[in-house]
Amino acid sequence: MNEFKNFINGEFVTTSSGKTFENRNPVDNSLIGMVHEAGKPEVDAAVQAAKAAMKGPWGKMTQAQRIEMLNRVADRINERFDEFLDAECKDTGKPRKVASHIDIPRGAANFKAFSETLANHPTEAFKLDTPDGKGALNYGHRKPKGVIAVISPWNLPLLLMTFKVGPALACGNAVVVKPSEETPATATLLGEVMNECGVPPGVYNVVHGFGGNSAGAFLTANTDVDAITFTGETSTGETIMRAASVGLRNISMELGGKNPGIVFADCDMDKAIEGTMRSAFVNCGQVCLGTERVYVERPIFEAFVQRLKEGVENLKLGRPEDPEVDFGPLVSQEHKEKVLSYYNLAVEEGATVVVGGGIPDMGAELNAGAWVEPTIWTGLSDDARVVNEEIFGPCCHIRPFDTEEEVIELANDTQYGLAATIWTENSSRAVRVAEAMDVGLAWVNSWFLRDLRTAFGGAKESGIGREGGVHGLEFYTETKNVCIKL
C-alpha cells in the first residue's frame, strides 16, 4: 500500500492526529494508497520550516548557486521521468501519451525557464539631479518575498504546481505547497528530488489535505505566510482572498474560465478542427484554457459540426498505458457527478446532443472508473446555464454566428476572461478580434502554445495578476528602491 506523507523540513512525516484519506485511481476506482492529512500543527511546522530556511543557507545563496540547484532539480525530474509519469497517470487517469508530452516535461522545464528569466532581467536605474549638483543614484533591488503558499488544482498537478514553485524558488523564496487532495503523488515525489539535489531543508514543503477546515485553510490563515499563489475555482479564490486580507498579504489568482473558440469561414478548416478537438477534449476537457463555447460562422457551421463529431467518434478511450489511447476518465467520481449533471441539464435546457451525452460502457474492469462520453451540443440559447457556467469536462456547445461584431459581443458576454481561440487566415481580422477579446490569453490558429517568457493569467473573474516571464518576478519579489546620494 502506497503512503503519501507530508514533506516538512526535508523529511517525510505522518500527522499527529493519525488522520488519513484514500487516494483512488479514476480509471477503475482502485485504491492507490493512503494520504496523511496535515492538521494545523503540521501546517504551522511547515511554515516555520520555510521561514527558518530563509534565514539559513538558502537565504545566503547567490542567485547563480540557486539557479544551478534548480537546473539540477529539472534534470533529476527528467531522470526520474517514468516515476513521475506513472504517479501522475495513476492520480489523474490521463493517458501516458498526454502526460509524457505535456505534464512531466513542462513540469521539469518550469525550473529552468524562470531561472533564465531571472538571470537575464535587469532592474531599473535612474540618476537624479540634485541642487548641489552632485546628484543621486537610484537602483531597484529585488528581494524575495519570504514564505509563499502554493495551492494547486488536480488537472495538471505537477505542471501547474511547478509553474509557481519554479519562479518562487528562483527568486529565493521558500514554499509550502498544498496540492489537490485528488492528486498528492507528484508533489510528494518532488520532495525526494529536492533532497537528492541538495535543496536545503524547509525550502520546499508539502502539506496534504482538503480546503476548508483542513490543510488549505490552515495554510492561508497562517500570517507567517507572506504571499499566496492559487490556481483553482473562482469561488475558492474568493475564500482565499478573504483569508489573505488578514495581515494584508499579496495574492496571485489563476481561476476558472468559460472560454470561447471563434471559427471564421475563412479559416483553415483542418487546423480549426484539429485545434478545437484538442482545446475541447484533451485531458478529458479538464484544462482551464479549454474551449467550452464554440462559435462558427454560418456558411461553414454544418460542415464544422459534422467534422468535429467525426473527430469525437474517432477518439480512443481506455487505460493510460495503451499508446493508442487519447482520452481518459475524469479525475474523480465527484467530478463525474458534476459533469453528468450538466449533461442532463443540457437536455433539459433544450440542447440537441450531436454526440455523446452519457457514460460509455468501458467493460467490467473499468466501469467503476470516472468515465463520461466526450460530448457536443448545439441549439442552446445564449442564456442557458450550460453555455455560461464552467463545466470542466469533455464537452462544448457550438453556435452559428453571422458577423464579426456579433461574435465579439457573444464571446465577451461572460463573467470569465481567461482565454480565447480564433481561427481565421485573415491576419488583420485575427489581430482585430484578438485585441477585442476581454481575456488574459488570446490564441490565433493555435491553442495552449505557451512561451514561458510571456504573461499568463486571466481577466475578470478568471484571475488577478500575471505570472510567467518577468511578470512572475513582480509577484515573487519585493522591489525596493535604493537611493544613494553622491
Nearer to ligand NAD, 178 or 319 (CB): 178
Q: Is 93 in the site for ligand NAD (CB under 6 A)?
A: no
Contact status, residue 475 vs residue 455, Cβ threshold 8 Å = no
Nearer to ligand NAD, 28 or 37 (CB): 37
Residue from the set 28, 86, 91, 254 that interacts with ligand NAD by CB under 6 A: 254
Q: Is 155 in the site for ligand NAD (CB under 6 A)?
A: yes
Report helix, strand or coil for 399: strand
Report helix, strand or coil for 288: coil
Q: Which three cell numbers stand for residue 260?
A: 470561447
Q: Say how many residues touch ligand NAD, by CB under 6 A.
A: 32
Stretch (H or E) spanning 427: helix 427-436
Phi, psi of 287 (to 5 degrees): -130, 130
Report, in Å, the least distance between residue 163 CB and ligand NAD: 8
Q: Is 181 in the site for ligand NAD (CB under 6 A)?
A: yes
Q: Alpha-carbon distance 396 to 406, whole Å?
A: 19
Q: Is 255 in the site for ligand NAD (CB under 6 A)?
A: yes
Q: Alpha-carbon distance 124 to 118, whole Å?
A: 14
Q: Is 180 in the site for ligand NAD (CB under 6 A)?
A: yes
Residue from the set 211, 320, 328, 369 that interacts with ligand NAD by CB under 6 A: 211
Phi, psi of 24 (to 5 degrees): -115, 150
Closest CA to 260 of 113, 434, 131: 434
Nearer to ligand NAD, 104 or 300 (CB): 104
As a residue count, the chain comes to 486
Q: Which three cell numbers stand for residue 483?
A: 537611493
Residue from the set 49, 217, 294, 441 that interacts with ligand NAD by CB under 6 A: 217
Report helix, strand or coil for 19: coil
Residues 259-298 that bind ligand NAD (CB under 6 A): 288
* Region of 31-39, 235-243, 321-329, 347-355 interacting with ligand NAD (CB under 6 A): 235-243
Report, in Å, the least distance between residue 182 CB and ligand NAD: 7
Closest CA to 5 of 189, 221, 204: 189
Residue with cell 501522475: 88
Nearer to ligand NAD, 188 or 231 (CB): 231
* Region of 236-244, 273-281, 294-302, 427-435 interacting with ligand NAD (CB under 6 A): 236-244
Residue from the set 210, 389, 432, 450 that interacts with ligand NAD by CB under 6 A: 210
Report, in Å, the least distance between residue 361 CB and ligand NAD: 27
Q: Alpha-carbon distance 331 to 283, whole Å?
A: 10
Q: Is 233 in the site for ligand NAD (CB under 6 A)?
A: yes
Q: Alpha-carbon distance 334 to 184, whole Å?
A: 17
Closest CA to 478 of 141, 124, 60, 132: 141
37 tagged catalytic: no
Q: Alpha-carbon distance 235 to 15, whole Å?
A: 29
Q: Is 256 in the site for ligand NAD (CB under 6 A)?
A: yes
Q: Is 160 in the site for ligand NAD (CB under 6 A)?
A: yes
Give the DSSP letter string of 331-393. S-HHHHHHHHHHHHHHHHTT-EEEE--S-----TTTTTS-----EEEE---TT-HHHHS---S
Catalytic residue among 42, 182, 254, 349: 254
Q: Alpha-carbon distance 177 to 230, whole Å?
A: 10
Nearer to ligand NAD, 105 or 216 (CB): 216
Q: Is 88 in the site for ligand NAD (CB under 6 A)?
A: no
Q: Which three cell numbers stand for residue 417?
A: 476572461
Contact status, residue 182 vs residue 209, Cβ threshold 8 Å = no
| Radius of gyration from C-alpha coordinates of the chain | 23
Residue type, 295: Y
Residue from the set 167, 393, 458, 469 that interacts with ligand NAD by CB under 6 A: 458
Residue with cell 519579489: 477
Q: Is 236 in the site for ligand NAD (CB under 6 A)?
A: yes
Nearer to ligand NAD, 227 or 255 (CB): 255
Nearer to ligand NAD, 191 or 458 (CB): 458
Closest CA to 477 of 159, 152, 178, 140: 140
Binding mask 376-395 for ligand NAD (x = CB under 6 A): --------------x-x---
Nearer to ligand NAD, 254 or 297 (CB): 254
Q: Which residue is nearest to ligand NAD (CB)?
A: 211
Residues 5-34 that bind ligand NAD (CB under 6 A): none
Q: Is 417 in the site for ligand NAD (CB under 6 A)?
A: no
Q: Is 154 in the site for ligand NAD (CB under 6 A)?
A: yes
- Which residues would be at the binding site for ligand NAD (CB under 6 A)? 151-155, 160, 178, 180-181, 210-212, 216-217, 220, 231-233, 236, 239-240, 254-257, 288, 390, 392, 418, 458, 462-463
Which positions are annotated as active-site residues?
A: 254
